[in-house]
Protein backbone atom coordinates (compact mmCIF):
# COMPACT_ATOMS: atom_id res chain seq x y z
CA UNK A 1 0.00 0.00 0.00
CA UNK A 2 1.21 3.52 -0.74
CA UNK A 3 0.58 5.81 2.25
CA UNK A 4 0.73 9.57 1.75
CA UNK A 5 0.36 12.40 4.26
CA UNK A 6 0.31 15.98 3.02
CA UNK A 7 0.11 19.24 4.99
CA UNK A 8 -1.46 22.12 3.04
CA UNK A 9 -0.84 25.62 4.44
CA UNK A 10 -3.89 27.63 3.38
CA UNK A 11 -4.25 31.39 3.07
CA UNK A 12 -6.13 32.61 6.16
CA UNK A 13 -8.83 34.33 4.12
CA UNK A 14 -9.54 31.09 2.20
CA UNK A 15 -9.22 28.51 4.97
CA UNK A 16 -12.97 28.18 5.58
CA UNK A 17 -13.70 27.50 1.91
CA UNK A 18 -10.99 24.80 1.57
CA UNK A 19 -13.37 21.81 1.96
CA UNK A 20 -15.57 23.14 -0.84
CA UNK A 21 -12.54 23.94 -3.00
CA UNK A 22 -11.30 20.34 -2.79
CA UNK A 23 -14.71 18.60 -2.81
CA UNK A 24 -14.72 17.52 -6.49
CA UNK A 25 -11.12 16.32 -6.24
CA UNK A 26 -11.91 14.40 -3.06
CA UNK A 27 -15.01 12.73 -4.51
CA UNK A 28 -13.24 11.72 -7.73
CA UNK A 29 -10.23 10.34 -5.88
CA UNK A 30 -12.37 8.29 -3.51
CA UNK A 31 -14.04 6.75 -6.57
CA UNK A 32 -10.73 5.54 -8.03
CA UNK A 33 -10.52 1.74 -8.04
CA UNK A 34 -7.10 1.75 -6.35
CA UNK A 35 -7.96 4.26 -3.61
CA UNK A 36 -7.94 2.76 -0.11
CA UNK A 37 -8.85 5.98 1.74
CA UNK A 38 -8.69 9.74 1.28
CA UNK A 39 -9.33 11.77 4.44
CA UNK A 40 -8.99 15.47 5.26
CA UNK A 41 -8.40 16.94 8.73
CA UNK A 42 -7.74 20.43 9.98
CA UNK A 43 -4.72 20.87 12.22
CA UNK A 44 -5.44 21.76 15.85
CA UNK A 45 -1.98 23.33 16.20
CA UNK A 46 -1.97 25.21 12.89
CA UNK A 47 -5.59 26.27 12.15
CA UNK A 48 -4.69 27.44 8.63
CA UNK A 49 -3.35 24.00 7.74
CA UNK A 50 -5.30 21.06 6.35
CA UNK A 51 -3.84 17.56 6.49
CA UNK A 52 -4.63 14.93 3.88
CA UNK A 53 -4.10 11.27 4.72
CA UNK A 54 -4.49 9.07 1.67
CA UNK A 55 -3.60 5.56 0.58
CA UNK A 56 -3.57 3.64 -2.66
CA UNK A 57 -3.49 -0.12 -3.15
CA UNK A 58 -0.10 -0.10 -4.88
CA UNK A 59 2.32 2.00 -6.93
CA UNK A 60 0.26 1.45 -10.08
CA UNK A 61 -2.84 2.90 -8.39
CA UNK A 62 -0.80 5.86 -7.14
CA UNK A 63 0.54 6.47 -10.64
CA UNK A 64 -2.97 6.37 -12.10
CA UNK A 65 -4.04 8.90 -9.47
CA UNK A 66 -1.35 11.48 -10.28
CA UNK A 67 -1.96 11.04 -14.01
CA UNK A 68 -5.72 11.58 -13.72
CA UNK A 69 -7.53 14.65 -15.00
CA UNK A 70 -9.09 15.25 -11.57
CA UNK A 71 -5.63 15.28 -9.96
CA UNK A 72 -4.51 18.01 -12.34
CA UNK A 73 -7.75 19.95 -11.77
CA UNK A 74 -7.36 19.51 -8.01
CA UNK A 75 -3.84 20.94 -8.04
CA UNK A 76 -5.07 23.90 -10.04
CA UNK A 77 -7.93 24.52 -7.59
CA UNK A 78 -5.58 24.31 -4.60
CA UNK A 79 -2.75 26.43 -6.05
CA UNK A 80 -4.68 29.68 -5.64
CA UNK A 81 -5.50 28.96 -1.99
CA UNK A 82 -2.22 27.75 -0.49
CA UNK A 83 0.15 30.08 1.34
CA UNK A 84 3.21 27.91 0.88
CA UNK A 85 4.43 24.68 -0.67
CA UNK A 86 2.74 21.64 0.91
CA UNK A 87 4.85 19.16 2.92
CA UNK A 88 4.53 15.47 2.07
CA UNK A 89 5.42 12.04 3.38
CA UNK A 90 5.07 9.25 0.81
CA UNK A 91 5.93 5.71 1.88
CA UNK A 92 5.22 2.14 0.95
CA UNK A 93 3.49 0.40 3.87
CA UNK A 94 3.40 -3.39 4.26
CA UNK A 95 -0.36 -3.39 5.02
CA UNK A 96 -3.54 -3.12 2.98
CA UNK A 97 -5.55 -0.70 5.12
CA UNK A 98 -6.37 0.23 8.69
CA UNK A 99 -5.86 -2.24 11.53
CA UNK A 100 -6.85 -2.09 15.20
CA UNK A 101 -4.56 -0.37 17.68
CA UNK A 102 -3.27 -2.96 20.15
CA UNK A 103 -2.47 -0.54 22.97
CA UNK A 104 -5.90 1.07 23.42
CA UNK A 105 -9.51 -0.03 23.60
CA UNK A 106 -12.71 1.46 25.06
CA UNK A 107 -13.35 1.13 28.78
CA UNK A 108 -16.70 0.44 30.41
pTM check: above 0.85: yes
Looking at the chain, the whole-number percentage of residues with pLDDT higher than 70 is 100
Query: Does residue 69 surpass a pLDDT of 90?
Result: yes
What CA–CA distance (Å, rounded) separates 71 from 25?
7
Cα angle 55, 57, 59 (rounded to 5 degrees) comes to: 95
In this prediction, residue 108 has a pLDDT band, given cuts at 50, 70 and 90, of: confident
Over residues 10-15, the mean pLDDT reads 98
Query: Does residue 38 surpass a pLDDT of 90?
Result: yes
Query: Does residue 74 surpass a pLDDT of 90?
Result: yes
What CA–CA distance (Å, rounded) separates 11 from 78?
11
Amino acid sequence: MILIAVKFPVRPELVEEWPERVAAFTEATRAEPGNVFFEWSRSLDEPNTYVLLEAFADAEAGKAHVESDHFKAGLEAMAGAISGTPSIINVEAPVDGWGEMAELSPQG
